[in-house]
Amino acid sequence: MTNTNRPVKLIAVASVTFAVLAGAACGGSAPAFAPAAESAPAVAAPTATADGPGVLTGIVTFDGTAPKPRPLPMDSDPQCKATEPGGTVSEVLLVGAGNGIQNIFVYVKDGLGDRRYAAPSTPVTLDQKGCRYVPHVFGIQVGQTLLVSNSDPLIHNVHALPANNREFNFGQPAKTPPVERVFQQPEIGLFFKCDVHGWMAAYANVVTHPFFAVTKEDGSFEIKGLPEGRYTLELWHARLGTQTVSVTVTAAVPATVAASFKIPN
């Protein structure tokens, strides 16, 4: 996370609390980037499929009283303001029912061994709608197509600022076709911004397998199809930092993880 252009710098989590159920154990904060799959032969065919018996569910909550999201300064662009006349709020930290934290990217960081998974043929879509990126946080596999679309009646530009992948930056006027991009390297927290509207931000999380999820409004997530085994999960949030959790997944019963984040000091 060396990019100095992003508006919100990642800060290591100073204090974390885990309540890990079903045979899981906790670890400390971890590097923000997944390692590249450099140990596997470059030509190894992806033969593994995400149809294992393991189910992993979890909930991520905010420890403390969450700050109220601030309104986005859309008055600076009347065209944007017109897309959301009632106004909208920053997505930097969204805490919902039960103090659940939305938009935490949860993925298997380690434990899959040398299994290799093909990228899905279906694309992931990143839309620009109401002068925001939708979704704000998403996962995508290495080699999977990202379709960037613009549903707004105005031009945006899409500026990706990767650490491990190739930077790109293009304008996308209203009513123009989606633009395709593909990421070649794993990367967590790959930042997207619009150089026209400074509040617009999205984070791609590029991984080598399909075992990831983004927490919903209530902070919950689910990952299915895992092989039985012991895994290290990483939980990433753009503002709150990262945590790792060890968890054992068996066919017999869903594994359950609970974690919480505080505002870093």
Q: Which of 128, 115, 133 is nearest to 207 (CA)?
A: 115
Pairing of strands 137-141, 201-207: parallel
Smallest separation (angstroms) from Cu ion to the CB of 151: 12
- Nearer to Cu ion by C-beta: 29 or 88? 88
Smallest separation (angstroms) from Cu ion to the CB of 88: 14
Smallest separation (angstroms) from Cu ion to the CB of 133: 9
The rounded distance, in Å, linking the Cα atoms of 62 and 68 is 13
Smallest separation (angstroms) from Cu ion to the CB of 147: 17
- Nearer to Cu ion by C-beta: 115 or 197? 197
The rounded distance, in Å, linking the Cα atoms of 132 and 184 is 25
- Nearer to Cu ion by C-beta: 115 or 159? 159
Smallest separation (angstroms) from Cu ion to the CB of 136: 14
Question: What residues line the site for Cu ion (CB under 5 A)?
Answer: 156, 194, 196-197, 200
- Nearer to Cu ion by C-beta: 127 or 217? 127
| Strand, coil or helix: 133 | strand
Alpha-carbon distances, residue 43 vs 37, 38, 109, 144, 242 (angstroms): 12, 11, 22, 17, 32
- Nearer to Cu ion by C-beta: 13 or 194? 194
- Cβ contact 205:91 at 8 Å: no
- Cβ contact 183:165 at 8 Å: yes
What pairs with residue 58 in β-bridges? 221, 257
